[in-house]
């Protein structure tokens, strides 16, 4: 399981999860969450594996800690991650900490939401949008 906080990959025996034990990251000691239950944190080094090679469409939230609109959008992104579990993967990319990916995708303002399917960007939403509008845009890429 990849840690949503620091991005470290952790080996977690399925038997321990089935026993109800809480898995923690070996690097940062934060609790690990199952895929889809919360947005994944992606970095310059994990973007290709976590986003571009994902079998599911990925909604990438490009954000920064100092950005007020990004903080306003964060609860919506978390809700979408939970609601679309198994259909769409949701990831967060801190543009300040990951300038190579932000530059590669020409992210000039934040928040920017990228929809990546089959390894390429298929849609882009710039600015704060209501949840129903984001979800409607994502529905075009679910399945098929």
Domains, the chain, ordered by start: 1-33 (no CATH), 35-139 (3.40.30.10)
- At residue 10, the pLDDT reads 82
Q: Which residues are catalytic?
A: 67, 70
**How confident is the model at residue 122, as a pLDDT?**
97
| 26, 11 Cβ separation under 8 angstroms | no
Mean pLDDT is highest, among 5-9, 11-15, 85-89, 115-119, for 115-119
Token reading at 23: 């898995």
Average pLDDT estimate for 75-100: 92
Nearest to 105 by CA among 143, 67, 48: 48
pLDDT (average), residues 71-93: 91
pLDDT greater than 60 at residue 25: yes
d(CA 121, CA 113): 10
Compute the average pLDDT of residues 43-71: 94
Lowest mean pLDDT among 20-34, 39-53, 71-85, 113-127: 20-34
Tell if the pTM clears 0.85, that is, is over it: no
3-class DSSP assignment, residue 63: strand
Residue 117 tokens read as 């399917």
- At residue 96's C-alpha, the angle toward residues 7 and 65, to 5°, is 85
Residue 122 neighbours by CB under 8 Å, 6+ apart: 57, 115, 116, 141
What pLDDT does residue 32 have? 75
Is residue 36 very low, low, confident or very high in pLDDT (cuts 50, 70, 90)? very low
Tokens of 120: 């390429």
């Amino acid at each position: 399981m990849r840690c949503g906080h620091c991005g470290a990959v952790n080996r977690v025996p399925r038997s321990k999860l089935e026993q109800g034990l809480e898995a923690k990251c070996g690097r940062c000691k934060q609790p690990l969450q199952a895929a889809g239950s919360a947005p994944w944190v992606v970095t310059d080094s994990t973007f290709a594996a976590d986003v571009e090679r994902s079998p599911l469409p990925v909604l990438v939230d490009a954000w920064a800690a100092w950005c007020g609109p990004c903080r306003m959008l964060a609860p919506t992104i978390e809700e979408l991650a939970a609601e679309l579990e198994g259909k769409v993967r949701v990831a967060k990319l801190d543009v300040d900490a990951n300038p190579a990916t932000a530059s590669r995708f020409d992210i000039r303002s934040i928040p920017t939401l990228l929809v990546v399917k089959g390894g390429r960007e298929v849609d882009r939403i710039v600015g704060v949008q209501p949840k129903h509008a984001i979800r409607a845009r994502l529905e075009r890429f679910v399945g098929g």
